[in-house]
Every structure is written in structure tokens, then in C-alpha cells.
Amino acid sequence: MFDNTEHTNISKLGEFGLIDHISKSFEVKNPKVIKGIGDDAAVIDLGDSFMLVSTDMLTEGVHFDMVYTPLKHLGYKAVTVNLSDIYAMNGNPAYITVSIALSSKFTLEAVEEIYEGIKLACENYKVDLVGGDTVSSNLGMTISVTAVGYVDKKSVAYRSGAKEFDLICVSGDLGAAYLGLQLLEREKALFKENPNLQPDLQGYDYLLERQLKPEPRKDIVRLLHDNGVVPTSMIDISDGLSSELLHICKESNVGCDIYIEKIPVDHLTTTAAELFNIDGTTCALNGGEDYELLFTVKQSDFEIVKKLKGISIIGHITGDKMNARLINQANEATSITAFGWDAFKAN
């Protein structure tokens, strides 16, 4: 199947290069597969609607750190990050399966706590846990969740649907989850130096919640639906705004102009960013795990969308293929490159 004879380090390809490499060897044979690898969820034709399928995995030491991750939050997050991919197709999730690998350090009570979080997410987002797998692990924990959902054929939103002149929108605000992580890492480092220190995280609840307990934007999918707006393209923001904009541009074969001052950043994010000598907007562009929605709409939807609470219009799609530009207040443009999360890139 693969005719490599060398020993290629995965970091040479990066996460997306590796996925491309794998997907090239798999041709879709079943005509019901409308979209296979390459979007937030796979799309399967059910006749009168589409079924959506998406998987995401969280690994101890990479995606979460036991030192500061409450187990209930971990279970909740493992589910909600998956639901986010179903909403990113403009769909609604219905079922999940949960697979968990556990090392012997975890007690029954620990597993119960994880499942408390999973249950809460199921209740909040009205999905059913319908299966999974339980295995032992030599080192740490891994949780993998698969979400299944549905979408009307007329409403499905792919990464590939953006057209020149479409407006680019994001929900909520960006960069907070990244700063939540920086704060937790800072406290962990201080604690290592002096275990008697009490964590000093007062006033940062919002940022910590954004990191530890992300909520997918079911409400935005509903809001757009209720206002008769079907996004021309959509993706959820898991790896930073820059990275997701480049996915939309690549898959839609377009470019984009983004106006820096329009990127929504909460004042708590801006203030916390100063602590780390970074710019809040840089966190929005290159941080990750915000789980907001990035989407495009037709110009003709402008009057409706501009009135919708919780949605910011940050730029527009251009015909300049693959040229994603960031425009500052002096009207100077720089190219957007993705510094966001890429599982295997050597940084």
C-alpha cells in the first residue's frame, strides 16, 4: 500500500501531512459516503437526511495533565470536543460511544468521576451513550469518543463551500482557552518548586473554564437556523483561528482578508495575555481549544447576521487563492500562517 523504504520521522509531515498521506491510499467505494476524510465529520447519505460521524481522542500527558485536570471535567470535555465537530457541520449530535484505556493507577472512584462528566455532557447536549470499549494501558489514560449526528441535506456546511465575497464570521471570543492552559501550567511549575504554595488562580475562572470545560456552540447552530441562515462553509476552532482559516481557504480554493481589530478577544484574555508578555490577538490566532465556530455566509445575509448576538464578522473571502491575509488598522496586510496546534510538527 505504501512503498516507503526509508525511516521517515512523522514530524516531517506534521499532523495534516500525515492525514493527507493516509487518506490518499483509501478510495471511497460506498456511494453513500458523501464526505470521507477531510472535514470535521464524515457525511453519509441516509436518503432523506445526512448522518455525521466524528472521532476525537484525548491522551494523558498530551491533551490533559492529571496534575490540574479534574476528572469530571475531563469526561465532560472528551464528549463536548466531539460534539463540536458535529455542530461544525451545522448538524445535531444524537449518540456517542466512549472508549477508554486505563492504567492501574486509576481507581473505580476515578473512573466514576470521569463518567459523571460524560453523563453531564450527555444530559446538557441531549445525546445518548450507546457503546464503547474498555481496555488497560501501560501508561496513563486515553479517552476516545465517537459522535454520531444528523443534518438536513439542505443545511450541511462543509469546509469547502466558501465563495468569493462571502463574509467570515466567528462565534464567541477567542484565545481564552490557551491562556487558561498557560495559567494552569504556571501554577504547576510553581507547585513543583514549592509544594506548600496554594494555587493563585483567583479572578481567572472564565479562562480556566474555557480550557477545562469547553462548551460546543449548539446555540449558534440553532440561532443561525432560526434566522434562516445556512453557512456556506464552517469549521470548529480547535487549533487556533489561523489554522482553521487556512483549512477553509484550502478546501474552498479561495483566499481571505481578516481585520485584526474585528477578532473577538475578551478583556480577561487581553489582561491575562499581558502577564505572559503576549498579545491577546496572537492567542486568538495561534492558541487552540476555543471550540468556537468559524463560518462564512453570503453577503446577502449581512443584515441578518450583523444583528445576531455572539457572532462577529471578521473579514471576507477573496478570490486570491490560498492567500489568507491579516489586515491591521493601518491597512497593512501580512500573510496568515498556522502556528496553532499540530500534533507532530517539530516546533
Residues lying near Mg ion in the complex (CB under 5 A) = 40, 85, 236
Regarding 39 and contact with ligand ADP (CB under 6 A), the answer is: yes
22 binds, among ligand ADP, Mg ion, none (CB under 5 to 8 A by kind): ligand ADP
Regarding 173 and contact with ligand ADP (CB under 6 A), the answer is: no
Query: What is the Cα–Cα distance from 343 to 288, expressed in whole angstroms?
Result: 12
Helix (H) or strand (E) holding 68: none
Q: Which is nearer to ligand ADP, 44 or 305 (CB)?
A: 44
Regarding 292 and contact with ligand ADP (CB under 6 A), the answer is: no
For residue 234, the Cα-to-chain-centroid distance in whole angstroms is: 12
The cell numbers describing 159, all together, are 469546509
Q: Which amino acid is at 118?
A: I
Residues numbered 40-69 forming contacts with ligand ADP, rule: CB under 6 A: 40, 56
- Residue 136 pairs in a beta bridge with 102
Regarding 312 and contact with ligand ADP (CB under 6 A), the answer is: no
The cell numbers describing 185, all together, are 501550567
33 binds, among Mg ion, ligand ADP, none (CB under 5 to 8 A by kind): none
Q: Which of the 8 DSSP states describes residue 301? A: G
Regarding 14 and contact with ligand ADP (CB under 6 A), the answer is: no
Regarding 113 and contact with ligand ADP (CB under 6 A), the answer is: no
Q: Which is nearer to ligand ADP, 151 or 272 (CB)?
A: 151
Residues 6+ apart with CB under 8 A from 209: 180
Q: How many positions of this chain bind ligand ADP (CB under 6 A)?
A: 9
13 binds, among ligand ADP, Mg ion, none (CB under 5 to 8 A by kind): none
Helix, coil or strand: residue 66: coil
Residues 6+ apart with CB under 8 A from 259: 314, 315, 327
Regarding 38 and contact with ligand ADP (CB under 6 A), the answer is: yes
38 binds, among ligand ADP, Mg ion, none (CB under 5 to 8 A by kind): ligand ADP
Find the DSSP H helices in 48-204: 71-87, 108-124, 176-193
Query: What is the Cα–Cα distance from 116 to 135, expressed in whole angstroms?
Result: 19
Regarding 290 and contact with ligand ADP (CB under 6 A), the answer is: no
- Least separation in angstroms between CB 229 and Mg ion: 20
Regarding 70 and contact with ligand ADP (CB under 6 A), the answer is: no
Helix, coil or strand: residue 43: strand
Regarding 28 and contact with ligand ADP (CB under 6 A), the answer is: no
Q: With contacts defined by CB under 6 A, name the span among 38-46, 142-150, 257-265, 268-276 that binds ligand ADP.
A: 38-46
Regarding 22 and contact with ligand ADP (CB under 6 A), the answer is: yes
Q: With contacts defined by CB under 6 A, name the span among 33-41, 160-168, 200-208, 304-312 that binds ligand ADP.
A: 33-41
Neighbour tally for 85: CB within 10 Å: 25
Q: How far is CA 180 from CA 58, 129, 274, in A?
A: 18, 29, 13
C-alpha dihedral (285, 288, 293, 295), degrees to nearest 10: 40
Residues numbered 182-241 forming contacts with ligand ADP, rule: CB under 6 A: 238
Binding site for ligand ADP (CB under 6 A): 19, 22, 37-40, 56, 85, 238
